[in-house]
Amino acid sequence: MRGEVYSRLFVAFAALALGASGCAGPVMARDGSVVLQQPGANGAQVMTANGIEYHDRKDIPQRIVVGSADEPWRSPVGFILPSTGRFHVTSRPTLLGAPGITIAMRPSDTRVPSWGGEVFVRVDLLVPAAAGQARPEERVAFVIDGNGSDTLALLDAALGQLGGHDHVTIVDARGAKVVVPSMPASHRSLAAAAVQKRLENRAEHVNFAGAVELAQSALGKEGARRFVVLTDGESGRDLDPKSEAVLGAISQAAIPAIVVSTSPHANFEALNAVAGESSAALVGDDTVEARMKSLRDALPAPGAVLFHDVSLTFEGTPAPSHVLEASGGDVRWRLESGELALGDVHAGEMRTEIVRVTVPAWVPGEKFAFTVTAHFGEVARNDDRRQLSAQLPCVYDDDIERIANSRNGDVISYASALATLRRLDAAFVGPGIARAGGLRKMAEMHARSMAILARDMHDPQIMEQAEILTALLAATGP
């Protein structure tokens, strides 16, 4: 009875609050949550440096007219979201392919603002390996130990050696914290961004033994496994008995272990203590380039290089587009296009990246398309340069509600997780995001929204992506 009274009071209070604010009534979502619609709910939410703003569908932002090619890029309006805060659509891939290589592209939008803006494109590069072309699938666990200046460069080099079917786990010895839960190595930009975020704030005490135990647990007890320690050597100065015991367990399990110095000034004697007799201690090189090469030699790539100098060019029609930034790879500016350089690709490699591409202002209702051209040299054909092209079609629109509700939730969610980890953060509202309290809440909401969308659409692949993003955000949380 008391519960019923409280329930009635809550409904009455909510009705009064909604009436006072002019909001529409609450809506029960399919997942059981209650959405309180805000003023302008027939429009869209826009994330700005000052927080969430609500734009009516009749509110058309003004184009930004620049007077010089040297002016920095500015978006006419902040990051657009559905007024409900829930995604309703998932992307459909456009494929570029040749024997041995497939590139799947998923844009965040099929309707683009007539006042100009930008679009994310998720790029999935797949190079399946024929029988005997690639090594077996491996589980690789990293322990990040210390504050060596070369940690991120060495981690990038190591992740670049892993194939799409490999799984990676990354543990920080400070506090024995899982930074990256076990996930496919194809998401290497997510993994590297998570470590970069973690290295910025590491106040906990070192628990080297606990970190090694977590890494060993992630490796499991069967299959091909590897254990990598990236360390400045300080933890090895005074190894406690427990640390020595867990390192001994790694050796007894016959798990290949690699210990890499993250600084030219590391304590080399201590590194030898960490490495032990069964490990490859890469401690003799002074330069980071030499240590990266030694690391690549010790951590074999999934297979032989099949394609050289792979790159993607993005060209806009009817007006030029440019690649602003990417989660991984090198971005190159051209006069009327932008380019993403991915480098050499091995047999068995899979890779996922997010690219930001500008959309020039144009007339509502007119068609717009990104022409994406892949360039690469094929090793089997004596490095003959080849190119493949496809179009990502869009339509210009001046209805902000229609644009918001047509956005592809899977691409937006993936990009928002990267933005939370300090890569692509300018894609949302620029450097002023700190004043709005950061992106974490929005990224967490996006991951939940994608999980609901996957459930509604009965799509296990999208559900797996949502679980990866949720776990990663939880692991890198405050």
Q: What is the CATH number of the domain that holds 101?
A: 2.60.40.3880
- What would the two tokens of residue 293 be? 């090469």
Same domain (yes/no): 170, 120: no
d(CA 431, CA 381): 46
Same domain (yes/no): 170, 248: yes
Same domain (yes/no): 182, 241: yes
- What would the two tokens of residue 410 be? 């899977």
Question: CA separation (Å) from 100 to 241, 306, 341?
Answer: 50, 8, 19
pLDDT at residue 384 is higher than 70: yes
Q: What confidence score (pLDDT) does residue 39 get?
A: 47
* 420: enclosing H helix or E strand: helix 409-420
**Sole residue written with tokens 């296990």:** 460
Residue 31 lies in a domain: no
Residue 153: give the domain boundaries: 138-298
Q: Which of 30-44, 215-229, 236-250 has the lowest mean pLDDT?
A: 30-44
pTM: 0.84
3-state helix, strand, coil in the chain (%, to 5): 30, 30, 35
Residue 240 lies in a domain: yes
Residue 36 lies in a domain: no
Q: Which of 34-43, 340-349, 460-469 has the lowest mean pLDDT?
A: 34-43
Could you read off the pLDDT of 88-119 as tens digits, one per residue? 899 999 999 999 999 999 999 999 999 999 99
Q: What confidence score (pLDDT) does residue 152 get?
A: 94
pLDDT at residue 358 is higher than 80: yes
Same domain (yes/no): 121, 160: no
Question: Mean pLDDT for the chain?
Answer: 83
Same domain (yes/no): 267, 310: no
Number of domains in the chain: 3
196: Cα separation from own chain's centroid? 12
d(CA 283, CA 101): 37
Could you read off the pLDDT of 423-475 as tens digits, one per residue? 888 788 776 666 666 788 888 888 999 999 899 888 888 898 899 999 898 88
Q: What confidence score (pLDDT) does residue 24 get?
A: 45
| Residues 119, 468, 35, 428, Cα dihedral to 10° | -30
Residue 105 lies in a domain: yes
pLDDT at residue 190 is higher than 60: yes
- Which amino acid, residue 457? M
DSSP-derived 3-state class of residue 381? helix
Q: Which of 14-23, 97-106, 271-280, 302-311 has the lowest mean pLDDT?
A: 14-23
Same domain (yes/no): 337, 416: yes
Same domain (yes/no): 198, 279: yes
Same domain (yes/no): 340, 210: no
DSSP 23: P
pLDDT at residue 370 is higher than 50: yes
Could you read off the pLDDT of 247-281 as tens digits, one per residue? 777 777 778 888 888 888 777 777 777 666 555 55
Helix 440-457 × helix 460-475 angle, to 10°: 160
Q: What confidence score (pLDDT) does residue 280 get?
A: 52
pLDDT at residue 3 is higher than 50: no
